[in-house]
Chain A
Amino acid sequence: MATLAVTASAPLDTRQRGERARRMLLWAYAGLFYCFLYLPILLLVVLSFNDSQTIGLPFQGVTLRWYEEVLGSPEMLRSILNSVVLGVVSAAVATLLALLLALGFRQEFPLKGLLMKIILLPILIPGIVGGVIYLVFFGFGEVQFGVWTTALPVHITWVLPFAFLTLFPRIHGLDRSLEEAAADLGARPLTVFRRVVFPIIKPGVVATAMFAFTLSFDEFIRTLFVIGNQRTVPVHLWTLLSDQMAPFLPAVGVVITVISMLVSFVGFAASARAGRAH
């Protein structure tokens, strides 16, 4: 509307009419865009209730049996558990490492530019290669593949740059005079952090941890290569997709999506509340 809609120096009414036309065009475009975004997902939801042995139309009546099949499967429940545990632990560790990195980055030190590039490395490595390097790395080191041995370090490494990039601007923008005042008043460095710095950045830390959780929860390609015969939720879906086009696949997709969205919502609410508290 007003910010960017550009007005010409023509007489006022034509100017306004032009602006309104542009606005309507923009809204129409947004409508199309959201259709593109949501139509496939809505179709997936509809098909997950479709009482048909093949995935697709026509719709042949409502059934809940695909959901019963999916939620009754111990493999599915085990993958959900694996994904949640991986997400929580890797979010906690990555956020802590990122916080330390971001705090250190406020100072000058040798090789800082190089370290910045190394932090970005896990993002810059193309996805498929990101999977392959860990297969090679852990395979060569003869580490047993599994959730704790290989998938966890891979998730932490994958999430770390994102956590750093989310935290760094908030910590970098912190007013140093507050800390200096506290230090001048005799507070020791750890006390300054605990009583001054941390309360200010806490909402950012919480938001970062939640973001990290969803990144880990949705991670697929790097996990696929190192998870061995265990499964996370996306890996489970992939295995089902590669094995057979089973009629319950849309239900699996909906269940995964609902879990991801719920977690993100909780994270959103938590970070908003943490933001209000200060």
Chain B
Amino acid sequence: MTTPLIEIRSAPHVQGPKSVETIMRHVVYSLLPICAFYVFQYGISALASIAVVTAACLLAERFFVGTGTQAGRLSDYSAVITGLLLALTLPPGFPLWMGAVAGLVAIALGKALFGGIGFNVFNPALVGRAFVQAAFPTAIATYTPSFLAGRFTEFIPSSLAWPLMVPADAAAWLKAKNLDALAGATPLAKWKFDGVVANAIDLLTSISGNMAVGPAPVLILLCGAYLALRRFMDWRIPLAIIGSAALTAWLLYAFDALRYPNPFFMLFSGGLILGAVYMATDMATSPVTPKGMWVYGALIGLLTVVIRYYSGLPEGVMYAILIANAASPLIEKVTQPVPFGRGVLDRARKRATYPLNPGYISREEASAVTPKKRFLPNKPKK
């Protein structure tokens, strides 16, 4: 009798359908409509920016995976997500070479340094963005309005700047297009420096022309809802961020409506929605415990509003998320789940089919059986 070759391995012998690749691939799919809208807003400059930044991320990932110091591999799509998200946070006319620097730094400092996928402490896309924010403060603050005529035939001049050269002045280019320089300021900057509050509905759809805004928050929310329903993303974090930011903004607005903008403006301006749905939910850098997710999200929402209102910067989402990333191991530590049977033990649900004790009939009867507790044991009976 020949002995057939059989293997032994540890149970379970079946495995669920979800893998790292499928999760990451679906996140990329959900980002594609957002990128398409971004290109529709800003034309070929945006397209070039997305392509260059993503290519830079993939190049860096390829290099570090190749050196063998980093876990994971290229086909897990995580570098693509980093690249797309990073491109979406940069101004559309951001010089392409700077975008490439941002992409390389994002993977090198944000991910490879810590050991690759799963080990990073900070969201790599935001690390890249924080780096260029510090390195090129002027370029990253230079926005151009969306839906310009001829955006599909002509690059925004600053995009094509030579490496290490000062990019072309966007204001002069805008003037040539009969737009004032203020049109190139983001709604948040306008509010911060000029006290102009944009209409929240316009911001939500981002479709009415010539605003310097990112992709439409409503589209991001829809794509996020797809991910959350397919359970490729946790719904608690975005909800906690939006809820806590809205609550904080609303409290301040109720306190002083003249000084603070209305909460809807707060929610839909800047990168809050993009950050809440795509940046903060980065799995490796957010807590795993459900309670921790709420705390983490609430912290981001609060910090965002505080930074926006009380700091010199118009935008605060990036730093809020990075700070919360740093706090997330601690949050996780204090929000460990309570194991089954170790919490409050008498929380029998009302929905239960059978009473725990078959002798139990009514409360009166139960109290007749068990003597009432006395606070004063020797109290004389009346």
Do these two chains interact? Answer: no
> A-side interface residues toward B, CB under 8 Å?
none
> B-side interface residues toward A, CB under 8 Å?
none
